[in-house]
Amino acid sequence: MSGSSKGASLAFGQAVIGPPGSGKTTYCHGMQQFLARIGRRVAVVNLDPANEVTPYERAVDIAELVTLPDVMESLKLGPNGGLIYCMEYLEANFDWLQEKLTALRGHYFLFDCPGQVELYTHHSALKNVFVQLAKWDFRLAAVHLVDSHYCTDPGKFISVLCTSLSTMLHVELPHVNVLSKMDLIEQYGKLAFNLDYYTEVLDLSYLVDHLASHPFFKNYRRLNEKLVEVIEDYSLVSFVPLNVQDKESMRRVMQAVDKANGYSFGDQEHRSLEALMSAAMGADFHFASTLAVQEKYVQSQDKAVEEEVMDV
């Protein structure tokens, strides 16, 4: 699996990234189980040195190379500095990673990455790991998980959009942004707009107007307008809704990722024309996946209203 081995078969997979608490490890476990049921040989690679316990079996574990507690204790670093050091240490020991991955050739890979935002927005260590994997003929898509509760707060949602855009530009991988924990969204409060407004990132001027009605944010209208302009000018950010407990939701995310990293069009599986088309539906796919979740969300809202009326 050397960088010059042009004849080697391609390896496909996902780099699962996102802020702490967004559900990366849960996603890796759920996607591993889902893919195994449809016949893919899946290997989960834990690249998070802070992951001491995981629900999935680790095919490769960075803890064999370096752990965050050891780094923090020996170098007297905090969690953020320790994570950056661990990623730089991994970057300096590519031979260890290459040896581990070579033994798993033929698998579909899920890379469970650390939850430090700086690693995805401006620090180069993890980006360099992805670049090296590409040289080893890995075809990865970045699956960027964002907690869906940010949709219930317009200010936080603008911040998430900026972070997602920055991550897409910095990581330089085919990108699928995912709104995780959609099954819990009704617990966070009512959305100001329909769900497709957030997943498709529609006209954000409405969001700015909504923010302007808030006593705090009205003083920052010009700033929010400029941030929104940057997001809309690039026109790159959109989201796929995800409920890990729902097989249909997992299938839709899988199709989006397969299209992004080219797995749908590779030689790893025999696929029918129907399977290829289902992974390449583009805007129609996003609309359908959002519509399904939106229906469940609206039904839960209607049920809550009915219960309130009955109580009265």
DSSP string, 112-158: E----THHHHT-SHHHHHHHHHHHTTEEEEEEEEEEGGGGG-HHHHH
Are 178 and 240 within 8 A, CB to CB?
yes
Domain assignment present for 305:
no
Domain assignment present for 104:
yes
Provide the residue range defining the domain that includes 71: 11-201+237-265
Residue 283: the pLDDT is 43
Are 242 and 176 within 8 A, CB to CB?
no
Distance between CA atoms of 266 and 187, rounded to whole angstroms?
41
**Buried b / exposed e across 237-256, counting CB within 10 Å, b at 16+?**
bbbbbbbbebeebbebbbbb
Domain assignment present for 220:
no
Q: Where are the alpha helices (DSSP H) in 18-124?
A: 24-37, 68-75, 79-91, 94-102, 118-121
Domain assignment present for 208:
no
Residue 276: the pLDDT is 47
What are the CB-based long-range contacts (under 8 Å, 24+) for 68-75? none
Q: State which residues of the chain have pLDDT below 70.
A: 1-8, 266-312
Domain assignment present for 284:
no
Domain assignment present for 130:
yes
Residue 285: the pLDDT is 45
CATH number, position 243? 3.40.50.300
Domain assignment present for 213:
no
Domain assignment present for 272:
no
Q: What is the pLDDT of residues 204-231, one digit of tens each?
A: 998 898 888 877 778 888 998 999 999 9
The set of residues, in sequence order, having a beta carbon less than 8 Å from that of 277 and lying 6+ positions away, is none
Q: What is the number of domains present in the chain?
A: 1
Residue 185: the pLDDT is 78
